[in-house]
Amino acid sequence: MPKKTTDHLICFDLDGTLISSVTIANQLFYDTVEEELNLSTTAFRSQKNLMALSAEERLATLWPEANLQSGQIKETLEVYRQKKMSAGIPILPGAKEAVALMAEHFEFMACVSNSPDELIEETLASLGLLHYFSKLTGINHVQFSKPHPEIYTSTVDYFGLKPEDCLTFEDSTTGVRSAKAAGMRVIGVTTGLESGEDLKKDGADVVLKGLDGLRFEMIMPLLNA
């Protein structure tokens, strides 16, 4: 067993990177909004640029005319969380192996997502992956979600590392822009809704078709180690 390094941090996004959830979660979110709040969602369902935003952010910005109260938002988000957890969203090919491979070599592992912390924890636990991660960063404790860099900057600061010594796996241009603005290295995977071309254009250092294509030999050169 190789000695784990504490000089670097490895992060994974959740939706679209570890689990095949982007399309399913999008449908569940808008179904919940219609059922719980009786709001029309037709204009937003097919907009890919909205899919990477947090559910809370979408609720707060897409229907300003509804003047949603905090209690309504909280209740709707809870219904959405329960629906998402019970949907049985599948893990993506190679995801479990990729997380295990990184954990074999790196002490510091984090899951960084635009989802609430409790949903990240529940999802990883259901997949048998939770024990690999020493930090979960969701939207509960940050002011801005991806593509703002705060969610990654706060994660890097938690471990006391330099951003250039940190690497993340992302499936969206929103996530790529967030991590690159934080100064990190990024491996993009085309298991979400965006092409390798788009991920590369927004700054991904390497693009893979999926995590089943990951090899450890790719990692250390990216971290200049």
**Angle of CA points 81, 167, 186, to nearest 5°:** 85
Q: Partners of 216 in the beta sheet?
A: none
Question: Mind listing the pLDDT tens digit for each residue in 24-80?
Answer: 999 999 999 999 999 999 999 999 888 878 898 899 899 999 999 999 999 999 999
pLDDT tens by residue, 169-225: 999 999 999 999 999 999 999 999 899 999 999 999 999 999 999 999 999 999 986
Cα-Cα-Cα-Cα dihedral sign, residues 101, 186, 168, 197 = negative
Give the C-alpha separation, 200 to 206, whole Å.
7
